[in-house]
Amino acid sequence: MATVSSDVTGQNQSQIKTLPEILWASGSLATGALYNAMALFSLFFMTTFLGIEAAVAGTIVLISKVFDGITDPVMGAISDRTHHKLGPRRPYLFFGSLLMGASFALFFNLPTGGGASSVALALGALVLYSLCYTVFTVPYLAMPPDIAASYDGRTRLMSFRVFFLMLGVLGGSAGAPQLVKAMGSGIEGYNFLGIVMGLLAVGMGLVAFYGSKSLPFPKARPKSTDSIAKQAITPFTDVISVLGNAPFKYLTLVKLCQLAVLAVALACTPYFFTFVLQRDTGDITLYLFTFSIVGLLSIPIWRQVIRTYGKKNTYMVLLFVYAAGMATWYLWTPGEPEFFVNARAVGIGTVSTGTLLCEQAQLPDTMEYDRLITGQSRDGTISGVFTLVEKVAGALGPFAIGILLQSMGLVPGRDPSIVQPQAALDAVKIGMSIVPALFCLAAVPFLMLYKLDEDQLEAARAKAH
């Protein structure tokens, strides 16, 4: 009888813990939606509706990300050292959700005057948005090592996060074009997109804030007695220090390449569907809807595959398959059967989700390993570096595509029906296929250098205790 009672109690405790974990994970719907909508439409919005040249628009994205990159480790260090009754991370989930939602709406509601004023306003709005996104994302990403302490438990927790992240991908990539189309696919559609997505981000961010109330959190690092000057440079010396953690260093390089795949593909998608495939935003919605839905449905399968074959081995195979899938877009020709477009959506969406889950499941392992070898909790700094890599990848995509398109003669304007030269169409096709495939393959050598597994973590735990 005692055994039955113990089992029931254990099940109840598991259920009690699972709900807050799911509510915390739902915050990824906010970040996923905004990240993907911005990656999908920021370059296209600036070149097609604000009248900004492609190379200038790509440079705007790059400058905003470089500036924002400075704030990521700073935000991580701040969250490590915040002393608050809610813990060092949760206060920023509240304020960050409000700020990133409002700043996203601002960008897509900029006036369309054109010229230098549009360039200045676009740059200012993107810098502000990136900064606000950091306030939420860096502390949020630092929470998993304390929420789930075990190797397999983190895979489970991060599968919840990836589920909501894929819902965000669905909303930000498939839903965003539909919002634009609902208002006529003109500037009003982008205004509407900004407001709706901004409100969604605020709502889901607040769910994560209130839902994570009962989850464990670490104590803040001791208050520093160093001089103000030394404290100002500490976040950057911390970055150098955490990169001495070899598993984390190699995982960040893998993530950089992997996210560059997504950033390049998303930046190219509106151009590819509009100018090469000659389809409207509704077709973008259908493609990305299929991409996201199959990704969501594949999560339980990938959890089992990872459990059977390991995180690294699964990741390695998926990177090669991902590269092959993206490269097939280069083979597209006019008159190609619709089946092949849909098949790409299914295949690439499934594999992309698998790579994302592998990466997300490995990050908390590197955080715990850092604690074990240093005796410090530097999760905020680590998440700041990881978010910095996300921003760098997000900048590389639009910047590279912007330079490529302008060099090949893309015609900017405020009308998506403008006829583009063949060279520009060829550049779009290459940007949609060959460039992301090469980024996939570039990640493989770094993943080969990543050595952290469950046995190594157990050995580090034993040594630390």
What pLDDT, on a 0 to 100 scale, did the predictor assign at position 9?
38
Whether residue 62 contacts residue 126, with contact meaning beta carbons closer than 8 Å, is answered with no
What pLDDT, on a 0 to 100 scale, did the predictor assign at position 436?
92
Instruction: Measure the CA–CA gap between 209 and 213, rounded to whole angstroms.
Output: 7
Termini Cα distance of the chain:
36
Instruction: Measure the CA–CA gap between 39 and 394, rounded to whole angstroms.
Output: 7
What pLDDT, on a 0 to 100 scale, did the predictor assign at position 10?
41
pLDDT digits (tens, 9 = 90+) for 182-194: 887 788 899 999 9
What pLDDT, on a 0 to 100 scale, did the predictor assign at position 243?
78
Instruction: Measure the CA–CA gap between 283 and 66, rounded to whole angstroms.
Output: 33
What pLDDT, on a 0 to 100 scale, did the predictor assign at position 185?
72
Instruction: Measure the CA–CA gap between 396 and 129, rounded to whole angstroms.
Output: 17
pLDDT digits (tens, 9 = 90+) for 193-212: 999 999 999 999 999 998 88
Whether residue 41 contacts residue 193, with contact meaning beta carbons closer than 8 Å, is answered with yes
Listed as ranges, residues in the chain with pLDDT below 70 are: 1-17, 114, 149, 151, 216-236, 412-418
